[in-house]
A and B are shown apart, each in its own frame.
Chain A
Amino acid sequence: MSLTRDDVRKVAALARLALDDDELERMTRELSTIVGFVSQLEQLDTSKVEPLAHPLGTTDVFREDVARESLPAAEALANAPRHDGSCFLVPAVLGD
């Protein structure tokens, strides 16, 4: 299984990573090797096997919907790279 630079560029865009040319080159090589390795699972017939997403089969857990104290806004904002005291600040969402 071999990935092209173009495949990797598309995945990087989905993953919100900006890779430079060297990284792209290296990532294409390394991901191809790893994907080749994990493709060994194709050897198994899994057509009749249900996927297992969670090891212990835990089902939905419910609790009473009771209002509780939550994190104060100042603490929630304390680690934000940019904020105005009540909101997180970000660059323009839609162009300029």
Chain B
Amino acid sequence: MQPADRSAMELAAAVAAGEISAVECTRGHLAQIEATDDSINAFLHVAAEAAIAQAEAIDAKRAAGRSLGPLAGVPVAVKDALCTRDMPTTCASKMLAGYRPPYDADTVARLRAADAVIIGKTNMDEFAMGASNENSAFGPVANPWDTSRATGGSSGGSAACVAAGMTPVSIGSDTGGSIRQPAGLCGITGLKPTYGRVSRRGLVAFASSLDQIGPMARSAADCGLLLETIAGHDPLDSTSLAAEVPPYTQLLEEPLCGVRIGRVAEHFGEGLDGEVAAAVEEAFAALEAAGATIHDIELPHAKYGVATYYLIAPSEASSNLARYDGVHYGHRTEAPCRGEGFDSPLVEMYCRSRSEGFGPEVKRRVMLGTYALSAGYYDAYYKRALQVRRLIRQDYLDAFEKVDLIGGPVSATPAFPLGEKTNDPLAMYLLDLYTVATNLAGVCGISFPCGFTAGGLPIGFQLQGPALAEPLVLRAADRYQRLTDWHRRRPAMATG
């Protein structure tokens, strides 16, 4: 079996046992990147030399008789929104082209400490704003199942590289669905942990009350393995949770008997593709056959989720992205700034640098957020959105009195053709219909494959759980994957 076919769990065990060296494992995956990424564009930066050096150090550690970390020799691709000390971090923006962070994100530091090999940085929508990965300043990512189609976004590169076998696992971030939606459209498994479960230190900020880093893999078990490493309190992120990190991979054995799964009738309304609906219903049936019980529940304010999200997220973004001022780091205009038509030469420099550095979607969201926060509109838009956010969270709290998990679709359709929605921002925003409420409520959710269309495109199933219910969410997804083989199907380029 080639290294590129194996799970992270198998690879770590094989490296620890000396059946394969970390260097061989890394080279195997680099070869797969070499062979496939020209047609996918999943990576913005492949750190071949640094990865080999890291793998050599792991092999030396083993040769010296020292014990290896839980991710020994496992190649991990990291979304380019996370700071890496020895690699560029661009957030797929011209604004940060050439930026070299002076520190590692907490997640990256934890991965290195667990003896994972950081193999490179993945493509994404610029500043994680998008649902198709077409907003990258460095070109879109192609879906490995059909390269004329989008991967979804914003963690499109992290989803595609795992689907195509370039790495067994990757790191994404999810502000309104950015892990779960591309995982669903690329036929892999992706977990958005509870808000605060993983430190956000070193994650380039988009919407700070919604952003969460999470694992992407070809199985729920591998997501659990990764989460064990990256979760935990970080004294330098005051919003990270102090709760102890459970051994997720050791909590998968208990059967699903008696687990109550909610089904929301409104999820099956207008706009849901027929093949997606059928596959999702079959997944409910399979979970029921595995011992779970299915219950009809309501999330009455869920239909307001997208509108609420597109006020709160841009508002937070407009504030967070104010740091790109052409002074401390990032793009600065070359134009001579004399201040004509501006308040001062300095203000002209700010405005020109930001206008040159940001792409159209980032500008749109900064504008929308600035508008929603501006005098005279704050109460009507931003404050009202925060009020509806409470109603949406209350819906979840009420629902989780009746059920343990909530199931449903991840996306209304399978992967769509590249270019189809790029001229209609609102149509792109509506792709987040099933995923944004999880972030607004701060709970957790996983997406995993539950079937394929007649045309061979993957279909995703979403399970949401209460805050800190990752053990149950992972166990339910893992149980489903023990009974089905959708997650084992691979696009032709992964097996070629």
Say whether A50 contacts B99, CB under 8 Å.
Answer: no
Contact of A17 among B102, B195, B332, B363 (CB under 8 A): B363
* Chain A residues within an 8 Å CB radius of B364: 27, 30-31, 34
Say whether A91 contacts B345, CB under 8 Å.
Answer: yes
In the complex, chain B residues 313-332 whose Cβ is within 8 Å of any chain A Cβ: 318, 322, 325-332
Name the CB-closest residue of A to B96. A79
* Chain A residues within an 8 Å CB radius of B374: 11, 14
Interface string of B351-388 (1 = CB under 8 A from A): 11011001000011011101100100000110111111
Asked whether A44 and B391 contact (CB < 8 A) given A80-B329, A92-B344, A93-B344, the answer is yes
* Chain A residues within an 8 Å CB radius of B209: 53-55
Asked whether A81 and B326 contact (CB < 8 A) given A14-B370, A27-B367, the answer is yes
Name the CB-closest residue of A to B342. A18
Interface string of A56-78 (1 = CB under 8 A from B): 10100101000000010001101
Asked whether A56 and B196 contact (CB < 8 A) given A31-B368, A37-B310, A92-B339, the answer is yes
* Chain B residues within an 8 Å CB radius of A91: 337, 339, 344-346, 348-349
Say whether B195 contacts A56, CB under 8 Å.
Answer: yes
Does B245 belong to the interface (CB within 8 Å)?
no
* Chain B residues within an 8 Å CB radius of A96: 338-339, 345
Interface string of A14-57 (1 = CB under 8 A from B): 11111100010001001101110111111010100111111110
How far in angstroms is the closest Cβ of chain B from A89? 8
Count residues on chain B whose CB falls below 8 Å from chain A CBs: 73
* Chain A residues within an 8 Å CB radius of B381: 35, 38
How far in angstroms is the closest Cβ of chain A from B333? 9
Interface of B is mostly: helix
Say whether A53 contacts B386, CB under 8 Å.
Answer: yes
Asked whether A81 and B332 contact (CB < 8 A) given A11-B367, A31-B371, A44-B388, the answer is yes
In the complex, chain B residues 283-339 whose Cβ is within 8 Å of any chain A Cβ: 301, 304, 307-308, 310-311, 318, 322, 325-332, 337-339
Say whether B327 contacts A46, CB under 8 Å.
Answer: no
* Chain A residues within an 8 Å CB radius of B351: 16-18
* Chain B residues within an 8 Å CB radius of A3: 371
* Chain B residues within an 8 Å CB radius of A16: 322, 325, 347, 350-351, 354
* Chain B residues within an 8 Å CB radius of A79: 99-100, 102, 328-330
Contact of A63 among B235, B368, B425, B443 (CB under 8 A): B235
Task: Among A19, A79, A91, A94, find the residue whose CB has the most chain B CB atoms closer than 10 A.
Answer: A91
Contact of B425 among A30, A38, A55, A80 (CB under 8 A): A30
Q: How far is the CA of A37 from the CA of B310 in the complex (A)?
A: 9
Q: How far is the CA of A93 from the CA of B327 in the complex (A)?
A: 13
* Chain A residues within an 8 Å CB radius of B425: 30, 33-34
Q: How far is the CA of A40 from the CA of B330 in the complex (A)?
A: 37
Contact of B426 among A19, A34, A54 (CB under 8 A): A34
Say whether A38 contacts B390, CB under 8 Å.
Answer: no
Say whether A15 contacts B387, CB under 8 Å.
Answer: no
How far in angstroms is the closest Cβ of chain B from A50? 6
Say whether B393 contacts A75, CB under 8 Å.
Answer: no
In the complex, chain B residues 233-261 whose Cβ is within 8 Å of any chain A Cβ: 235, 238-239, 241
Task: Among A7, A49, A50, A81, find the residue whose CB has the most chain B CB atoms closer than 10 A.
Answer: A81
Q: How far is the CA of A54 from the CA of B318 in the complex (A)?
A: 17
Q: How far is the CA of A39 from the CA of B311 in the complex (A)?
A: 10
In the complex, chain B residues 81-113 whose Cβ is within 8 Å of any chain A Cβ: 99-100, 102-103
Does A95 belong to the interface (CB within 8 Å)?
yes
Contact of B355 among A17, A61, A82, A94 (CB under 8 A): A17
* Chain A residues within an 8 Å CB radius of B426: 33-34, 37
Asked whether A55 and B442 contact (CB < 8 A) given A17-B354, A46-B388, A92-B346, the answer is yes
Does B467 belong to the interface (CB within 8 Å)?
yes
Say whether A93 contacts B346, CB under 8 Å.
Answer: yes
How far in angstroms is the closest Cβ of chain A from B82? 16
Q: How far is the CA of A75 from the CA of B161 in the complex (A)?
A: 32
Q: How far is the CA of A50 from the CA of B350 in the complex (A)?
A: 36
Q: How far is the CA of A27 from the CA of B366 in the complex (A)?
A: 11
* Chain B residues within an 8 Å CB radius of A78: 100, 102
* Chain B residues within an 8 Å CB radius of A23: 363
* Chain A residues within an 8 Å CB radius of B487: none
Q: How far is the CA of A52 from the CA of B331 in the complex (A)?
A: 35
Say whether A41 contacts B99, CB under 8 Å.
Answer: no
Question: Which 5 pairs from chain A and chain B are nearest by CB?
Answer: A55-B442, A51-B386, A79-B329, A81-B332, A52-B390
Ordered by A's residue number, 27 sampled pairs between the chains whose C-beta atoms are within 8 Å are A3-B371, A15-B366, A16-B322, A16-B354, A17-B351, A18-B351, A19-B363, A27-B364, A33-B426, A39-B307, A42-B380, A44-B391, A51-B386, A51-B389, A51-B390, A55-B440, A56-B195, A58-B238, A61-B238, A71-B103, A76-B102, A79-B102, A79-B328, A81-B327, A91-B339, A95-B345, A96-B338
11 further A-B contacts with Cβ under 8 Å, apart from A46-B391, A56-B195, are A15-B318, A16-B351, A17-B355, A17-B358, A31-B367, A38-B311, A40-B307, A42-B380, A53-B209, A56-B196, A96-B338
